[in-house]
């Protein structure tokens, strides 16, 4: 199958889908290609899901303050109980709704969304492997908005207990201990979440003025 268009955008993250919507609004024949779900890192595996689990962890921590004798005359004798599987499913329901919203905006703007991975033949033509077969797309203008991905440390490749922030948002069981390498906003958000849920969290950051380690622990365990 072949498809010609005015604008081809590869990557439906916040850069790509916003450009596609604007191009569609300008009545330009626009195709956007995405190998995962529309929305990009921020919506699918970054800012939005992390804020969702932060909200849940905060609620859990607040409930934990009322365990035993409690506070303000409010008590939970056995303390709050955590079901990580259900928490992750709730987080995913939010992501699904927002992903659907992005796809609706693209459709409303007249943009065609092609789901698959693009391989370029030259500067104007790419082949996309979709679930329904291969599509060859040729465009007058091409925008690359392929985003980013987690980077392995050379001496700590991903696998087993070594995971990226993406997998950290999908854990079905609460880890008893967790070491986070990198004290940027992603690392600190995830660290605060798991500390609030009950994990013993260690954050490693080489640029801290005082040295190497920041250790945060909480009293609640699942």
Q: How far apart are CA 129 and CA 34, in angstroms?
A: 11
Residues 211, 189 contacting (CB under 8 angstroms) = no
Within this chain, do residues 115 and 78 fall inside the same structural domain, yes or no?
Answer: yes
Q: Does 71 reside within a domain? A: yes
Q: How far apart are CA 14 and CA 102, in angstroms?
A: 10
Q: Does 158 reside within a domain? A: no
Q: For residue range 42-84, what is the model confidence (pLDDT) as tens digits?
A: 899 888 999 999 999 999 999 988 888 888 888 888 888 999 9
**Binned average pLDDT, 10 residues per bin, the chain of 222 residues:** 95 96 97 94 90 94 86 85 95 96 97 96 94 94 91 91 94 94 88 93 76 45 36
Structural domains counted in the chain? 2
Q: Does 160 reside within a domain? A: no
Q: How far apart are CA 31 and CA 111, in angstroms?
A: 6
Within this chain, do residues 131 and 76 fall inside the same structural domain, yes or no?
Answer: yes
What integer pLDDT is reported at residue 184 of this predicted model? Answer: 84
Count Cα neighbours of 160 within 13 Å in the Cβ-side half-sphere: 3
The whole domain housing 63 covers 2-144
What integer pLDDT is reported at residue 196 of this predicted model? Answer: 93
**pTM of this structure:** 0.80
Within this chain, do residues 127 and 34 fall inside the same structural domain, yes or no?
Answer: yes
Q: Does 189 reside within a domain? A: yes
Within this chain, do residues 140 and 169 fall inside the same structural domain, yes or no?
Answer: no
Structure tokens of 23? 């191009």
């Amino acid at each position: 199958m072949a498809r010609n268009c005015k604008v081809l955008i590869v990557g439906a993250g916040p850069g790509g889908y916003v450009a596609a919507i604007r191009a569609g609004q300008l009545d330009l024949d626009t195709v956007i290609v995405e190998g995962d779900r529309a929305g990009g890192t921020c919506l699918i595996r970054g800012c939005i899901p992390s804020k969702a689990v932060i909200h849940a962890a905060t609620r859990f921590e607040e409930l934990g303050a009322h365990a035993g004798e409690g506070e303000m005359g409010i008590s939970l004798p056995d303390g709050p109980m955590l079901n990580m599987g259900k928490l992750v499913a709730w987080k995913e329901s939010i992501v699904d709704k927002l992903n659907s919203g992005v796809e609706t905006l693209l459709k409303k703007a007249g943009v065609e969304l092609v789901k698959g991975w693009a391989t370029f033949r030259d500067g104007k033509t790419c082949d996309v492997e979709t679930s329904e077969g291969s599509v060859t797309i040729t465009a007058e203008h091409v925008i690359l908005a392929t985003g980013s991905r987690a980077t392995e440390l050379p001496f700590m490749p991903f696998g087993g207990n070594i995971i990226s922030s993406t997998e950290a948002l999908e854990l079905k069981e609460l880890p008893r201990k967790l070491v986070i390498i990198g004290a940027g906003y992603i690392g600190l958000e995830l660290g605060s979440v798991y500390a609030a849920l009950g994990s013993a969290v260690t954050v490693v950051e080489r640029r801290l003025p005082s040295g190497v380690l920041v250790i945060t622990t909480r009293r609640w365990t699942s």
